Amino acid sequence: MKVIVVNTQQELDALPEKFADFTRIEIRASVRIVVGKAWENSSVEAWENSSVVAWENSSVEAWENSSV
């Protein structure tokens, strides 16, 4: 499984629409990140003190002190 660590909204927005292999997207940001879509063949996890807003068909797992 591939893991992509995202620290900014720009990094998240730059991700492709879908992934060939299952990919875990880890959000490790000190600012709010807005997840506006669900990427094909991937999952999103919020880590540390991240704050995530999920819309539409998005799914997010929160770890440590994260909020969703």
User: How far lies 13's CA from each of 42, 48, 64, 65, in Å?
Assistant: 14, 20, 24, 23
* DSSP 8-state assignment for residue 37: S
Please tell me the predicted confidence (pLDDT) of residue 25: 86
pLDDT at 68: 63
Write out pLDDT tens, residues 4-62. 999 999 999 999 988 899 888 888 887 878 877 767 777 777 777 777 666 666 666 77
**pTM, whole model, 2 decimals?**
0.68
